[in-house]
Amino acid sequence: MTPPAVRRTFGQVNPSVHSLIDPGNPSCRLLAVGVLSIFSAAGMAAFELGFSVDDIEGEGWRADGIAISLSEVAVDHYAVAITVANLVLPDSHGTLEGLRLECPDVSRDGSAWLCEHGRLKLQASPIEPQDATWQGSYVDDGHLQITIPRLALAQGTVALELNADDGVWSARLQPHRTTIARLAALSGQLALPSDWGIEGRASGLVKLGGGPAGLESVDADLVFDQLAYASPDGTQAAEKVVIKTELRGRVRKALWRFDATLAWPSGAAYAEPLFIDASDGPVTLSLSGSWSPQQVRLQLDGGSLELAGTAAVSATGLFQGPGLAPKDLTIALHSDDAGRLYGRLLQPFLIGTPADDMQVAGHVGLVLHFDEQGLDQAGLEIKDLALEDRQGRFALDDTDGSIGWDRSKVVPVSRLAIAGASIYRIPTGAFDVRVHFAADRIDLVEPVVVPVLGGSIALDRFALSGALIAGARPKWEASASLRDVSLEQLTRTLEWPPFNGSLSAQLRELNYVEGLFSVGGGLEFSAFGGRIEVSGLSIQDPLGTVPVLKADAIMRGLELEALTETFAFGRIEGRLDADMRSIQLVGWQPDRFDLHLYTPQNDDSRHRISQRAVENLTELGSGVPAGLSATVLRVFDEFRYDRIDLRILLQGSVADLDGLARPDGGYYLVKGSGLPRIDVIGRNRSVAWKDLVERLQQIQVEGAQIK
């Protein structure tokens, strides 16, 4: 006999539940256990039973339209079907619609109820509609096991296995090619930007375990492949990235202990300005420590980051409070290939600075310590460090030493031993540096003497501030001296016309503020038997791509014979004074100056000028060859002169020329004297600077040309 279907309407039910999806909670098994327990009655005759429930509610969840049907298909074999019209999940995880869970053959095996060929159907869910098989068992002692071999999830699949026994439960999930963007959206916890076009898949194994108090263990082995994204502003991007992760976590007394590793074997990513391509060397990361959700406290016992062939980084630290700000963090970096370290990690941050195009080699070690206020200590060890600017502006030969810095304390003396250096192709010998680094200051402990060009440059005092604190504007003050620096070696090194003599000077007021280098004390040195003084010297952005130099200079009593022989200009005897005002070089090229070359008053030296010098001066002033060798004057090797006077005013690309005024127009470059008398007269008042330079370039200088 078939009994009539039973239909009852329950009032609101509020079972004490931790989570509807917690398989270890008794409420989660409410329906399954209730149905399966019916089968425990001994000697039950063949029957069909059906009943329904309007709704059941718990904390955060609700089920509507519940129907259960049972029927005996053979001795100790039964068919069961459970349908739920709507199941609202807790924590805003969405709603399941049209849920049907059935098993056509539930069998009794001793103390266990078994279902080997169950079916699960869902018309709609937060993930996807489902049509899957399942297996399960329930033992009278309370052990429950359910396996779902394949569920559709995030455009991929996931296998699910649940076990529960007397409040202890475990779950095993095996995602296969599930899309990362869809998983993030389903989680409700990971907010990925929707306009980045994020692609990628996740596969692997996740094992969860817990008890009445909740989750107690996590083990995950996952692979993320085909990862790609691009931000709309182009500052973030990735392509064909593969990430392999392992995570082990255990909770004890509300404290999670964890170990995690991440391997990045292939693919490339860009985060402005940094570009990392794993084909240049795989990246691996490992972390171990503890996490307290109640205290919002992360203890990092050990962390390491390995960029194969480039650098190894290790870290320990404590993070606590909103945003997990560091309370005590130590980071150490070591690299046996400073060139790869510079190219992969440092150079992108140096674009636009003088250090953005260098060749680097050597070994580097760096230690940083942070407290609640930020960086408070740093140490740098270098060995065989060498660098060279590819534009030839500066270089540093093999350097060994250590540098220590402290935010507020005086630290031990930092020491560097430098095998040599160069600036604008001017080489130096070996020298040592002893300095103090503390707070935002660098102070020289003792003078630095640098051998250079047969003499030396001594940095007697140096103090820098503002360079070691973020946002500060660096400035420095110094005093230095030059002793017996060979002008001959200097001009040869710079491929200038060779000068004789040496350079000695006292530089008492060297300053650098906001990119401007200036010399307050001026320069004074001797050359060509006379004296040269430079004042008002300043260089804006001295190591930049377009430095701007400004200065004034005067020259007194230069011996023209030594000067003209140097330039193979043709011999001129006598002395020469010069005033050079408002000098401005842009990118080391003349842009502006006011130059006046003239014979000093009361010069009683011998005044003679050779035929070749007359021709060169004539061509320089007019652009037309003098042609003296084709006239009767060719029989004279030299001529007497009274005065020399030449003024060149350069403004941009145009040079204005002038000399001693003539009553009939034009101007004297050389005013003759005696017989045979010869005057060098200029007619052109203005000439393109490039044309004037071309005329100068025709003057040969002992196997080299004026540049």
Tens digits of residue pLDDT in 240-253: 999 999 999 999 98
Report the helix count and the strand count for the chain, using DSSP H and E.
7, 48
Peptide bond just before 273 cis, omega within 30 deg: yes
pLDDT cut 70: percent of the chain above it: 87
Whole-angstrom Cα distance, residue 428 to residue 486?
A: 13
Least confident of 64-73, 326-335, 499-508: 499-508
Integer angstrom CA distances of residue 658 from 326, 442, 592, 666: 70, 50, 16, 8
Least confident of 54-63, 335-344, 520-529, 661-670: 520-529
pLDDT of res. 6 = 33
Split at pLDDT 50, 70, 90, the class of 104 is very high
Split at pLDDT 50, 70, 90, the class of 387 is very high
Higher pLDDT, 92 or 4: 92
> Looking at the DSSP assignment, which residues form a beta bridge with residue 516?
513, 540
Provide φ and ψ at 248, rounded to 5°. Answer: -130, 125
Is residue 610 scored above 80 in pLDDT? yes
Mean pLDDT throughout 494-507? 74
Cα 5 versus chain centre, distance: 72
Is residue 469 scored above 70 in pLDDT? no
Structure token pair of residue 440: 């935002």
Least confident of 1-5, 159-163, 319-323, 340-344: 1-5
pTM check: above 0.75:
no
Structure token pair of residue 95: 């709603």
pLDDT of res. 698 = 57
Whole-angstrom Cα distance, residue 150 to residue 166?
A: 27
Higher pLDDT, 651 or 476: 651
Mean pLDDT over each residue of the chain, to the nearest integer: 84
Is residue 215 scored above 50 in pLDDT? yes
pLDDT tens-digit profile of 317-360?
A: 999 988 889 999 999 999 999 999 999 999 999 998 888 999 99
Is residue 41 scored above 70 in pLDDT? no
Is residue 549 scored above 90 in pLDDT? yes
Higher pLDDT, 385 or 695: 385
Is residue 17 scored above 90 in pLDDT? no
Mean pLDDT throughout 535-554? 89
